[in-house]
Structure 1
Amino acid sequence: MDEPRDPRLPDIPLHRLQVPLPHLLPFAIGTFDTIGALSRAAFPHRHTFYEIVYVTGGRGAHVLDLVHKPLDPPQLCVITPGQVHHWADADGLTGHVVLFNEDFLPDHPQDTAALRTLATRPGHTPGDEAGPIAALLADMGREYRDLPAGYRDVLRASLHILILRALRACAPGGAVPARDRAAELAAAFTRLLGMPGAGRRPVTSYARELGVSPGHLQTLVRQATGRTPAGLRRQQQTLEAKRLLSGTRLTVRQVAAEVGFADPAYFCRFFRRETGMTPGAFREAAGGKHHDPRIGSIAAAPDGP
């Protein structure tokens, strides 16, 4: 990972994946020590890449989009691009860290949806899958270190298996998403929504980028998720506002602009409607680490038109 920006600056540091020679792959695997200090960063930050962390030892907590999860190894954590996370009071962390860009994912579009599902909580206990997941990660680590013939294909295939095993262990019912057009389009739409600044774009611009009409986007996204594109966009705007209010010194006016509201007063009404709190009250509560149930950012909000 590259060097972070000074966490005292008003924006949230954004890390990009950098891998050493001889790999030159948009992928890396190692321990907390071999990946480096940023793998256990104690300040809120986000990535342009995916991260899967399998914690086998240590203490502290993982904080993902304001949701605080005490460590209870073995524990699996998935962070997707755009999410804000950090390690709180962590000490003695051991385990595996897997980093990869989207273009390293195997040709299994449902894997992206699975990763999004896994990232809705800051930590999972893998249960009966703990042994197979640990063995798979150890094998991936050897492939990455030793570079035998065909290691790129083995790593891609192993990543797919890792995602399926994680989903089997952690998702409700262990269900694996089915591959269909609606699910693939909804996954692509939610990926675009997840990046910083996405709330400033209208839904029609996403439809153009995805090569479908707004009406078709509406139909397929609702079919796959039970929610409308506009409802998902509102949820993402609220989540990004929470991230910025809790993790930066931006003014409410600046936060409003960042998430797509030209009128700060309208943003304040929107935020209160979505969260039950004013932006100022939310910032005060989040800064004070209050356990207000409205602080939790990852849980899905009720949908609307």
Structure 2
Amino acid sequence: MEYFEKNTNGFWLDTLEGLLERFPELELPHKQDFYTLLFIDSAKGEIIIDKVKIDTDQAKLIIIKPDCVSSITLDKYAKGSIINFTSDFFDLRYNTNLLYQFSFLKKWEKPFVRLTEKQVYKWNSLLLLVKKEYQNCSKGFRNVLCSYLNILLFEFERAYNPVRTIEQNHSRESKIIYFKQLIDKHYKSKKTPSQYANLLHVSANHLNKVCKKETGKTAGSLIRQRILLESQRLLQYTNLTVNEIALEMGFDTPSYFITFFKKQYGCTPEVFRKRQNDLFYFV
């Protein structure tokens, strides 16, 4: 959704009622680079994800993962909520690999679960709290929203009954998860694909091919993404100086860190920090 990508900070919430009147482009097959969580209370229509049709004939939770091709068809009186969020939004508050522990986010799992009346009541209650926080934008609201999102994902996990299918790419996907876990553990000291390839006992070329196949990104890009995420966290949530952050992140010199950061974000760490401080506070 172009609106989400241009006008949010990684989290967006709306109601399902009249959704397609506001965003008719959702009816067309499209690919996105963020997660969409749909809570269907009652609705007539269907959600299609990678050619799999999910009827909205009863209460459901549906997850649309990044890079999936999806379309949404709902009547204008549909009841429920839609939440879009990026992995970066979630990762700023929690460990970067926490999303991978949720069964329903794995590539080979079905992307929905049916809800009981009791579960529907609970989700409506939780989403009222999320909506209030989202609309008020009080001090620290972004952190609170991230905490609520974590609760919603765990509630999804509790309701979820995984139905595994035979997936030929399972071993490759498991290797990507392990690679990301290694990055999370060593990103301050190991910054090249070859270093991680050695830990995985594969060639750097093979690792890069697997990464491109499963994520669309190179191994080097995934490593840089993790370094930038932690740098962003430190700039946003601590009072460490740029020099101290450079040292903490394992860069030889502050100037090298500044050059690295500016190349990725188009601005210096100090400018980035000022922009974030205009919106959020340190915790």
TM class, shorter-length: 0.5 to 0.7
Q: 2:143, 2:110 → 1: CA distance?
A: 30
Q: Does 1:29 align with 2:13?
A: yes
* CA separation of 1:43 and 1:216: change in aligned 2, threshold 3 A: same
Q: 1:164, 1:52 → 2: CA distance?
A: 13
Q: 152, 155, 165: which one pairs with 2:155?
A: 165
Q: 1:98, 1:155 → 2: CA distance?
A: 11
Runs of 4+ in 1 over 4 A off after TM superposition: 33-36, 182-185, 187-190, 207-212, 228-237
Q: 75, 94, 100: which one pairs with 1:107?
A: 94
1:41 match: secondary structure: helix
Q: 97, 100, 109: which one pairs with 1:120?
A: 109
TM-score normalized by structure 2?
Answer: 0.54
* CA separation of 1:75 and 1:91: change in aligned 2, threshold 3 A: same
* CA separation of 1:209 and 1:63: change in aligned 2, threshold 3 A: farther
1:17-46 CA distance string (max 9 Å, x none): 232xxxx52211111358663377221101
Q: 55, 71, 88: which one pairs with 1:86?
A: 71
2:5 match: secondary structure: coil
User: Which structure 2 segments of 5+ residues have no match?
Assistant: 164-172, 182-189, 217-283
1:59-114 CA distance string (max 9 Å, x none): 121111111121133111111111111124x3233211111111110313222442
Match of 1:2 in 2: 2
Match of 1:196 in 2: none
Match of 2:168 in 1: none
Q: 2:112, 2:40 → 1: CA distance?
A: 10
Q: 2:162, 2:211 → 1: CA distance?
A: 21
Q: 2:86, 2:6 → 1: CA distance?
A: 10
Match of 2:231 in 1: none
TM-score normalized by structure 1?
Answer: 0.51
Q: 1:231, 1:25 → 2: CA distance?
A: 30
Q: 1:54, 1:210 → 2: CA distance?
A: 39
Q: 2:120, 2:194 → 1: CA distance?
A: 40
Match of 2:177 in 1: 186
Question: What is the Cα-based RMSD across aligned positions, in Å?
Answer: 3.8
Q: How many residues were matched structurally?
A: 188
Identity %: 19
Q: 34, 54, 77: which one pairs with 1:49?
A: 34
Match of 2:253 in 1: none
2:134 match: secondary structure: helix
1:62 touches 1:123 (CA, 8 Å); kept in 2? Answer: no
Q: 1:231, 1:59 → 2: CA distance?
A: 40
The structure with more radius of gyration: 2
Structure with a larger share of its residues in helix:
2
Match of 1:281 in 2: none
1:237-284 CA distance string (max 9 Å, x none): 9xxxxxxxxxxxxxxxxxxxxxxxxxxxxxxxxxxxxxxxxxxxxxxx
User: Which structure 1 segments of 5+ residues have no match?
Assistant: 4-15, 174-181, 191-206, 220-227, 238-305
Q: 1:100, 1:84 → 2: CA distance?
A: 17
* CA separation of 1:58 and 1:185: change in aligned 2, threshold 3 A: same
2:38 match: secondary structure: strand
Q: 1:101, 1:55 → 2: CA distance?
A: 21
**Greater relative CO, 1 or 2 (CA 8 Å, sep 6+):** 1
Q: 1:26, 1:188 → 2: CA distance?
A: 25
Q: Does 1:18 align with 2:6?
A: yes
Q: 2:41, 2:26 → 1: CA distance?
A: 17
1:49 touches 1:102 (CA, 8 Å); kept in 2? Answer: yes
Q: 1:235, 1:185 → 2: CA distance?
A: 8
> In the alignment, residue 69 of structure 2 is paired with which amino acid?
V
1:115-172 CA distance string (max 9 Å, x none): 5238832431133533222211121111011122321111011111111110111143
Match of 1:214 in 2: 197
1:110 touches 1:183 (CA, 8 Å); kept in 2? Answer: no
